[in-house]
Amino acid sequence: VTKPLRIVLCGFGNVGREVYRLLCDESPRLERLGFSPVVVGIITRSRGHVYVPTGITSEHLQMLAPKDSAAVCTTRLIEQMSADVVVEMTPLDVFSAKDVMSHARAALTSGKHVVCANKGAIAWGYDELSALASAKARLFLFECCVMDGAPIFAMVRNCLPAARILKFEGVLNSTSNYVLDKMLEGVSMEEAITMAKRAGFAESDPRLDIDGWDSAAKIAALANVFMHARINPLEVVRQGITQITCEQVQAAARGAMRIRLVASAVQRQRDVLCEVKPCRVAHSSLFGSVNHTSSVLSITTDLMGNISIVEHDPGLLQTAYGVLRDIIEVASFNK
Amino acid sequence: VTKPLRIVLCGFGNVGREVYRLLCDESPRLERLGFSPVVVGIITRSRGHVYVPTGITSEHLQMLAPKDSAAVCTTRLIEQMSADVVVEMTPLDVFSAKDVMSHARAALTSGKHVVCANKGAIAWGYDELSALASAKARLFLFECCVMDGAPIFAMVRNCLPAARILKFEGVLNSTSNYVLDKMLEGVSMEEAITMAKRAGFAESDPRLDIDGWDSAAKIAALANVFMHARINPLEVVRQGITQITCEQVQAAARGAMRIRLVASAVQRQRDVLCEVKPCRVAHSSLFGSVNHTSSVLSITTDLMGNISIVEHDPGLLQTAYGVLRDIIEVASFNK
């Protein structure tokens, strides 16, 4: 007999629906890992919520519909639903993360593990939430925040013991990378942004991608976790790609170069310097090889030298897998 | 008080000495992780052995000197030394792995964990040794066999749960990659091999690199661990770079291509197809970006799509770190 793991999904947009589907479709595989996922609660912003202790089926999903009445307070719902883990998948607010923080706090305080897909929580409140999680002996996991399902946090946590991270840099924003690739083909930035929106990987406000805010949130999140930097996205030295022209992209290409929006963090004597800016890189370099929506993170350590992880053309499934990975870790902790 | 971990080093060449140095120099870091490494035994092929239950110091190392008398049997030494873990670092025999297998067997049978830096063990006997390890409730680890310290085995084991590996491919042999890069500069293959030997990263018989045997052993090892393939290096479809000419390398470069020795494994209906062969890849592709002694492994999974790990310009320290990583895992199991 496998142990049930009671899950609340907070946020039910594209990622939330894909996580739900994955938990349903892959439950035989998860049972072989020793647990049965049971989605007991779904909380949405504008379509109400549903709570079914025996597990939400597709019929119950019909109950989610646009509501006229004032929304019930999300943090209260999180506290009241009886569950093992809350998966936070509400939209990112790069400038404050107030909501995601209060959701995570409510979950941890009421004794639930937290799997967080919203990078705001670690870009703004990693120290507080990880301390709260240890005080409550709960897990606070956030694998898919930066590179979808590519297990960068888990790898550093589990696979690089004793090594110190000295610096890291990456191409972390799909939309900017895609837009720069399109500009090379002569497509205007505005047009390329529209294409990225249509393809579904741009932020709801794509300016947050293009201005470097998404990368700034990601590099702050990584620096907080890897280097205890206590930095927030506003403190990242940030320059987006808005000033880049098609001519510049094409001139670079004639010199066998590419322009990439590079995010980096370096450990200095007393603090961590985090930066986001467009850089010219050789087309034949690792960063130059990362096209379209792919992303890369290069990590330099003292004992292990330099290793990189590349995620190729991620889609919704990969993001949902990042969430699933964390849910599996919760289940194995919960045994 | 930290718990001592008693270590036997079997093999004391370049890697063995670097591991010994790392264990001495970094012991404060390891103590913070909860254990004190104590190297109690060193076994060499031609310079005898030394066993000091309180820990081997640099003075004891003087005792290792060329011996006239017949060598004491290594497996007997492994069995008799009282220790927690044996680190196997004897030279690779790609064609049989008889010695490394008997060393690993002796260690496991006498209740010791095994950390293996010799890929022969997993290319030839993964199933047997992992079954023996579980029967004895000991660990059998081998992180540095394929990509030095880049934690590919640990990542798949710990960070990609529930995902099935469908195929993988990589550029895994430093010498071949370095030689192909030098040939692009007009250096002859023979000369480039000599340079690789002088730089210290070629196999003692560099033909094993150039003929694709080292890559074949690595891809067999990976296929055995990731796909339960039960394949050995002789069963890998293998073509080395011996037939490649400077002209071919340069003609490829004129077309913005590079030649790389690519090792691959694909899960088929009933078996796994493993192959090593020179391939033309775009210079601006991921594999094209991997220069000199760097290496790359790309893994395709069903749930996580495609991720790659790149190790940049590894040296002896990275290989030794791969061993250290496994020793830390043993120590945390041993708690």
Segment A27-48 mean pLDDT: 95
* pLDDT surpassing 70 at residue A70: no
- With beta carbons under 8 A apart, name residues in chain A contacting B303: 22, 26, 149, 317, 321, 324
pLDDT score for B203: 74
Percent of chain B whose pLDDT exceeds 70: 99
pLDDT score for B154: 97
* Residue among A329, A321, A332, A335 nearest A23 (CA): A321
User: Among A63-72, A310-319, B234-243, which is the least confidently predicted range?
Assistant: A63-72
Contacts of A226 (CB under 8 A, 6+ apart): A156, A165, A168, A265, A299
For residue B151, the chain A residue with the least C-alpha distance is A159
Residues in chain A: 335
How far is residue B236's CA from residue A326's CA, in Å, rounded to a whole number? 36
Segment A94-104 mean pLDDT: 94
pLDDT score for A208: 93
Best residue in B30, B147, B165, B284 for a mutation probing chain A (most A CBs within 10 Å): B284
Measure in Å the smallest separation between the Cα of B307 and chain A Cα atoms.
5
Measure in Å the smallest separation between the Cα of A215 and chain B Cα atoms.
20
Any bridge partners for residue A5, and if so which? Answer: A37
Cβ separation B307–A311 shorter than 8 A: yes
What is the residue-averaged pLDDT of chain B?
95
Cβ separation A307–B312 shorter than 8 A: yes
Cβ separation B284–A286 shorter than 8 A: no
Band the pLDDT of B68: cuts 50, 70, 90: low
Measure in Å the smallest separation between the Cα of A288 and chain B Cα atoms.
7
Band the pLDDT of A256: cuts 50, 70, 90: very high
Among B163, B288, B310, beta carbon nearest to A310: B310
Among A33, A290, A305, beta carbon nearest to B317: A305
pLDDT score for A66: 86
Using CB atoms and an 8 Å cut-off, which of residues 116-155 of chain B contact chain A? 149-151, 154-155
- With beta carbons under 8 A apart, name residues in chain A contacting B170: none
Measure in Å the smallest separation between the Cα of B28 and chain A Cα atoms.
10
Among A154, A310, A318, beta carbon nearest to B308: A310
- Could you list the beta-strand ranges (E) of A3-112: 3-10, 35-43, 49-51, 85-88
C-alpha dihedral sign at A219, A221, A222, A227: positive
- With beta carbons under 8 A apart, name residues in chain A contacting B163: 321
Among A162, A286, A312, beta carbon nearest to B289: A286
pTM reported for the whole predicted model: 0.96
Any bridge partners for residue B10, and if so which? Answer: B43, B88
How far is residue A182's CA from residue B19's CA, in Å, rounded to a whole number? 48
Percent of chain A whose pLDDT exceeds 70: 99
Any bridge partners for residue B259, and if so which? Answer: B280
Among A33, A158, A289, beta carbon nearest to B158: A158
Best residue in B21, B321, B333 for a mutation probing chain A (most A CBs within 10 Å): B321
Contacts of B152 (CB under 8 A, 6+ apart): B143, B146, B222, B297, B309
pLDDT by residue (tens digit) across B15-61?
999 999 999 999 999 999 999 999 999 999 889 999 999 999 999 99
How far is residue A122's CA from residue A233's CA, in Å, rounded to a whole number? 10
Among A161, A284, A298, beta carbon nearest to B33: A161
How far is residue A9's CA from residue B79's CA, in Å, rounded to a whole number? 54
Backbone angles phi, psi at B172, to 5 degrees: -120, -5
Please, are residues B177 and B150 in contact by the beta-carbon 8 Å criterion?
Answer: no
Best residue in A289, A292, A301, A309 for a mutation probing chain B (most B CBs within 10 Å): A289
Cβ separation A33–B161 shorter than 8 A: yes
How far is residue A63's CA from residue A82's CA, in Å, rounded to a whole number? 19
Band the pLDDT of A68: cuts 50, 70, 90: low
Cβ separation A305–B283 shorter than 8 A: no
* pLDDT surpassing 90 at residue A92: no
Please, are residues A296 and A310 in contact by the beta-carbon 8 Å criterion?
Answer: yes
Q: How many CB atoms lie within 10 A of CB A245?
A: 11
pLDDT score for A69: 60
Using CB atoms within 10 A of its CB, is residue A118 exposed (0-12), middle (13-18) or buried (19+)?
buried
pLDDT by residue (tens digit) across B241-299?
999 999 999 999 999 999 999 999 999 988 999 999 999 999 999 999 999 999 999 99
Measure in Å the smallest separation between the Cα of A67 and chain B Cα atoms.
35
Among A162, A289, A315, beta carbon nearest to B286: A289
pLDDT by residue (tens digit) across A188-244?
999 999 999 998 888 778 999 999 999 999 999 999 999 999 999 999 999 999 999
Pull the structure tokens for residue A110: 């009421």
pLDDT by residue (tens digit) across B91-131?
888 888 999 999 999 999 999 999 999 999 999 999 999 99
Using CB atoms and an 8 Å cut-off, which of residues 271-330 of chain A contact chain B? 283-286, 288-290, 298, 303-315, 317-318, 321, 324-325, 328-329
